[in-house]
Amino acid sequence: MYTEDDLQSAVASGALSAEAAAALRAHVGQLRDAPLGDEEQFRLVNSFNDIFVTIAAVLLMVAMAGIGAAITRGFEGPPPFSGLLVAGSAWMMAEFFTRRRRMALPSIVLLVAFVGGVFEMLIGLLAISLTHPDEMPRMVAVLGSGAALFTAGAALLHWRRFHVPITIAAGTAALVGMAIALILAAIGPDNVTSPETVLIPLVFIAGLVVFGFAMWWDGSDRTRQTRRSDVAFWLHLLAAPMIAHPLFYWLGVTGGHNIGGAAAVGVLLAYIAMGLVALAVDRRALLVSALAYVLVALTWLFDKFGAVELNVALTALVIGSALLMLSAFWSTIRSALVAQLPGTLQARLPVAGALPA
């Protein structure tokens, strides 16, 4: 399996001409009956060896976590030595399996383990240093934001060494956590009577910021032929639930029952709007993140209109058919939609157009 990174590397080394690479992309697009840019390339497994290596790596890191927990036995909170050993072993394995072998799934798992290990180590040290954390919630929030900032710095260091696309999303998530922790510290946890009233708006605003950051990466590679598009893919996956959950929380459907007719219709309208945005930016993450809420709303509607026994089946039929039709004609619908947008906005979106001849 060859990726865009492989093609770009072949062109840069002179093993393949730029014209031949473009012809190959056009040929594959014709075979799939869709432009390659609309396919949202996502490399997870190159071969079964990826799965084999991932299993072995996870087993090794579980062992490291167990050894670290034994070293810090008796301490309250996450064992810091577990995080240190997991992060260190993940980095050393990445030197071979990511930097030299360029294996997709192991690289993702090792990155997540490294970032998670660093954060666990910092939180564990924080738990050890604070003797009475319940008595100083504001200090805990400030120190927690510092741990998140340090974790984001570790993710940046990992990115500069290995360039795994998910790394930017991991670092961004750490920065979001830092910002929210700082805001909570400024407000004062004791002054927050209901956490949802503060956290939900903050998460929504952070989701919009992450979405804008993802669009910046997308805008720098409008034809989706470099690693920058892969970075944007993971950022969209991070932003989508941060946007979708607050929206449907405000519509009152997070409970999953007795949502009311107005809320159900609101969910459907919101999903249609998110679908239009997803088409415009050529990313499906928003649709996937909001899918569960739409299923709940449609199930409620069918139940209220008398289809009690078939409400789940009818919901699956309607949503499944709609998504399949959208997937089949994604490029055509997207081209028509983007053509209606202002030219300045079109110039910032991923390229839309018909299949190459």
* Helix 166-187 / helix 137-162 crossing angle, nearest 10 deg: 160
In this structure, are residues 260 and 221 in contact, taking their beta carbons and an 8 Å threshold? no
Residues 6+ apart with CB under 8 A from 303: 311
138 φ/ψ angles, rounded to the nearest 5 degrees: -65, -40
In this structure, are residues 118 and 78 in contact, taking their beta carbons and an 8 Å threshold? no
Spatial distance between the Cα atoms of 126 and 129, rounded to a whole number of angstroms: 5
Q: Report pLDDT for 17.
A: 73
Q: Which two structure tokens, joined as six digits, stand for 317?
A: 């039929």
In this structure, are residues 249 and 296 in contact, taking their beta carbons and an 8 Å threshold? no
Report angle CA 258, 261, 264 to the nearest 5 degrees: 85
Q: What is the pTM of this model?
A: 0.85
Nearest to 126 by CA among 78, 172, 163, 171: 78
In this structure, are residues 189 and 145 in contact, taking their beta carbons and an 8 Å threshold? no
- H or E stretch at 250: helix 227-250
Spatial distance between the Cα atoms of 88 and 219, rounded to a whole number of angstroms: 35
Q: Which two structure tokens, joined as six digits, stand for 56?
A: 């072995």
Ramachandran region of residue 40, left (φ > 0), alpha (ψ -120 to 50) or beta? left
Domain boundaries, the chain: 51-162
Q: Which two structure tokens, joined as six digits, stand for 180?
A: 């929210």
Residues of the chain with pLDDT under 70: 1-13, 15, 21-22, 24-39, 41-42, 74-77, 131-136, 189-192, 254-260, 305-311, 353-357
* Helix 18-32 / helix 4-13 crossing angle, nearest 10 deg: 160
Q: Report pLDDT for 357.
A: 42
84: which DSSP letter?
H
CA distances (Å), origin 291, targets 150, 236, 310, 323? 34, 15, 19, 10
Nearest to 8 by CA among 230, 278, 281, 178: 230
- 245-287 per-position pLDDT tens digit: 898 888 877 654 556 677 778 888 888 999 999 999 999 888 8
Spatial distance between the Cα atoms of 54 and 70, rounded to a whole number of angstroms: 24
Residues 6+ apart with CB under 8 A from 151: 115, 118, 119, 122, 171, 174
Residues 6+ apart with CB under 8 A from 217: 168, 228, 229, 231, 232, 235
Nearest to 271 by CA among 234, 298, 308: 298
